[in-house]
Chains A and B, each alone.
Chain A
Amino acid sequence: AQSVTQLGSHVSVSEGALVLLRCNYSSSVPPYLFWYVQYPNQGLQLLLKYTSAATLVKGINGFEAEFKKSETSFHLTKPSAHMSDAAEYFCAVSDGGSEKLVFGKGTKLTVNP
């Protein structure tokens, strides 16, 4: 069975600092991996996805993630945090693009001025 573990339910950074949100997955097949962002009272917006192509994936709003098979990780990073990045971030895994997603518990990112 697939699973996702997001380390740290809350992460707080200063504006301009590096953002690092951790995600480890478990999957019996080559995974599809996703990062989504959710602003309060809204649905989820896709940040980026890994679908077995390049291991370093670039997404929207300056975010990127690196797929590391040996570490079963797919951590999300952004070099310089902006106030507008404050939101809840979800990592998710699936067997394929058309398959159901299994979500991590989410990480709430706070950006301090």
Chain B
Amino acid sequence: GAVVSQHPSWVICKSGTSVKIECRSLDFQATTMFWYRQFPKQSLMLMATSNEGSKATYEQGVEKDKFLINHASLTLSTLTVTSAHPEDSSFYICSAIFNKETQYFGPGTRLLVL
């Protein structure tokens, strides 16, 4: 099946710093990737849709200036959490569309902001 990777798997940072998370489709090209956030014991909430070569589409309530998304190639999307604060601590998961039919998910990145 299709494989999606994320890097890093864990990141701890100080409040006020920026953190970049990478999402890669390893064996297929993905024009569309999605970024989700999952708080403990909760479901996944879509943050934004990342389209290769164009601006990301953000869900209502998600600050686009805080969560910068860049989808510069057909296999890579990045999420940058700018000026991170403790309330941004969460599990961030990306997904990529395979064969225009199915979303495959990355293993997730756990962010802890101190």
Q: Is B32 an interface residue (CB 8 A)?
A: yes
How far is A101 from B35 in the complex, measured between Cα atoms in Å?
11
Q: Is B104 an interface residue (CB 8 A)?
A: yes
Query: Which residues of chain A are within 8 angstroms of B106 by Cβ–Cβ distance?
Result: 43
Q: Known: A42-B108, A90-B43. Is A97-B34 also a contact (CB below 8 A)?
A: no
Q: Once the chains bind, are B97 and A103 in contact (CB under 8 Å)? A: no
What's the least CB distance linking A5 to chain B, in Å? 12
How far is A106 from B100 in the complex, measured between Cα atoms in Å?
25
Q: Once the chains bind, are B32 and A46 in contact (CB under 8 Å)? A: no
Interface pairs (6), CB distance under 8 Å: A43-B93, A44-B95, A46-B102, A49-B102, A51-B101, A97-B99
Q: Once the chains bind, are A44 and B97 in contact (CB under 8 Å)? A: no
Apart from A42-B107, A43-B105, A46-B1: 16 A-B pairs, beta carbons within 8 A: A34-B103, A36-B105, A41-B110, A43-B93, A43-B107, A43-B108, A44-B93, A44-B105, A90-B44, A100-B34, A100-B46, A101-B34, A101-B95, A102-B46, A103-B43, A106-B42
Query: Which residues of chain A are within 8 angstroms of B6 by Cβ–Cβ distance?
Result: 43
Q: Known: A97-B102, A98-B100, A98-B101. Is A41-B43 also a contact (CB below 8 A)?
A: no
Q: Once the chains bind, are B108 and A98 in contact (CB under 8 Å)? A: no
How far is A45 from B93 in the complex, measured between Cα atoms in Å?
12
Q: Known: A103-B43, A104-B43, A105-B42. Is A46-B104 also a contact (CB below 8 A)?
A: yes
Closest to A6 in B: B43
How far is A36 from B103 in the complex, measured between Cα atoms in Å?
10
| Binary per-residue interface labels of chain A (21-42) against chain B in the complex, 1 for a CB within 8 Å, 0 otherwise | 0000000000000101000011
What's the least CB distance linking B94 to chain A, in Å? 8
Q: Once the chains bind, are A101 and B43 in contact (CB under 8 Å)? A: no
How far is A102 from B1 in the complex, measured between Cα atoms in Å?
22
Q: Is B75 an interface residue (CB 8 A)?
A: no
